[in-house]
Amino acid sequence: MTAQASVRNATTAAPLRPQRGGGPALPKGRGSGVADLVGVIPIGLLYVVFILVPMVVAVFLSFTSWNGVGNPTWVGFANWSWFFHNSPGSAISSTSSIWLTIKVVVLSYVVQTPISIGLGLFTAGRQRYKVVYATIFVLPMLLSTAGISYMWNGFLDPNFGPLVPLASHFSFLNQDWLGSSSITLYVLVAIIAWQFIPFHTLLYAVGRRQIPEVLYEAARIDGATPAQMFWQVTLPQLRYTMVTSGILMITGGLTYFDIIYILTKGGPGAATSTLPLNMYNTAFQQTQFGYSSVMAVVLGVIGIAIAIGLVRGTGFGRMQSQQEGVN
């Protein structure tokens, strides 16, 4: 295509909808081939060496037995059958890890979503006092996970924590929060929620601000009550935000490691040993790189499955084109 033709195309193309793969072709500039190499090779190399190759290595290691010394020994599907029938050599059963992981994911989603939506809608307003609230709600994001863990560790200390003086009035506060096999998992879910609700609140606040006010005016004219507006305007309009936030919560919960590692290391016993914790302990405490790689691969496969489900089920492509239209 000549340069002039492409300019003509550029001026006649509808500016709002540059389709993926559509739009005018650009003229070949001098050295565009070299520019492609310069633009893609360094970043591609980093990505291939430190993301793709490790993924392949993880799959390979999952078929071997290796303690980090010497060379890995090929053992075929032994690790995999252990994984599904509970390894005799592993202290923590993989079925209980999977079960705990599912629990963390589901509970995190159920706890975080309604609170984030509520707070997000509240802080979406532009009033001054709401900005103050929004600012305070963001504060947990400024702490590192380790910081959050040690803060709660002190706060929930069963001997010297600030809840101890209160426990003489409210006996239910008298708990070994982080050392009990019955409640610690729920305490961890609550702390994880404390850490992540601020982020999802921000997402929902941004999502709410993008809803055109016209929709609410129309609903008001039709005599809709606030509840009706919430169920029939706000929630349907927030569906993409709910998908994004939900995916992040699910993948986040699935791979959640930091707080659990710092506060309980998976204990007491195996009470909080989720899949990532089990994987880490198997690899770096028991140095069974082969068996731990099975868990790593399972995590990776679930991550990829969720991503594919996201693309298929919710039409990520549609979402992109919708955004292009709006922007």
Partner 1 sequence: MPAWLRPGRVISFVLVNIWLLIVIIPLYYMILSSFRSEDTYQTDNQWLPLGGLTFGSYTKAWEVGMAHYLLNSVLLTVACVVLSVVLSLGMAYRVVRRNSRWVGVSFSVILFGLAIPVQAIVVPLYIMIVKMHLYDTLYALILTLTAAAIPVSVLIMVSFVRDIPRELISAMLIDGGTEWTVFRQLIWPLSRPVMATLAIYNGLNVWNNFLLPLVLTLNNSTVLPLGLTHLQGSFSNDVPAVLAAVVLSALPLVVLFVMMRRQVMNSLGGIVAR
User: Minimum Å distance from CB 95 to partner 1?
Assistant: 19
Residue 262 binds partner 1, judged by CB under 8 A: yes
Q: Give the whole-angstrom CA distance, residue 164 versus residue 170.
A: 10
Q: Is 324 in the site for partner 1 (CB under 8 A)?
A: yes
Smallest gap, in angstroms, from Cβ of residue 293 to partner 1?
6
Binder of partner 1 out of 80, 125, 157, 176 (CB under 8 A): 157
Q: Which is nearer to partner 1, 147 or 269 (CB)?
A: 147
Nearest distance, CB of residue 132 and partner 1, angstroms: 10
Tell me if 221 contacts partner 1 by CB under 8 A: no
Name the minimum Å distance from CB 295 to partner 1.
Answer: 9
Question: Nearest Cα to 274, choosing from 96, 97, 99?
Answer: 97
The b/e string for 160-197 (b: 16+ C-beta within 10 A; e otherwise) is ebebeeeeeeeeebebbbbbeeeebbbbbbbbbbbbbb
Contact between 6 and partner 1 by CB under 8 A: the answer reads: yes
* Of 295, 288, 298, 280, residue with least CA distance to 65: 288
Site for partner 1 in 123-152 (CB under 8 A): 133-147, 150-152
User: Site map for partner 1, 286-305, x if CB under 8 A?
Assistant: ---x--xx--xx-xx--xx-
CB of 61 to partner 1, least distance (A): 7
Q: Strand, helix or coil at 31?
A: coil
**Residue 23: what residue type?**
G
- Single out the segment in contact with partner 1 by CB under 8 A; choices: 75-83, 94-102, 177-185, 319-327: 319-327
Give the number of residues in contact with partner 1, rule: CB under 8 A: 112
What is the 3-state secondary structure of 139-198?
A: HHHHCCHHHHHHHHHHHCCCCCCCHHHHHCCCHHHCCCCCCCCCCHHHHHHHHHHHHHHH
How many Å apart are CA 273 and CA 269, to the nearest integer?
A: 8
Q: Are 297 and 282 in contact (CB under 8 A)?
A: no
Closest distance of CB 81 from partner 1, Å: 20
Find the binder of partner 1 among 1, 17, 44, 325 (CB under 8 A). 44
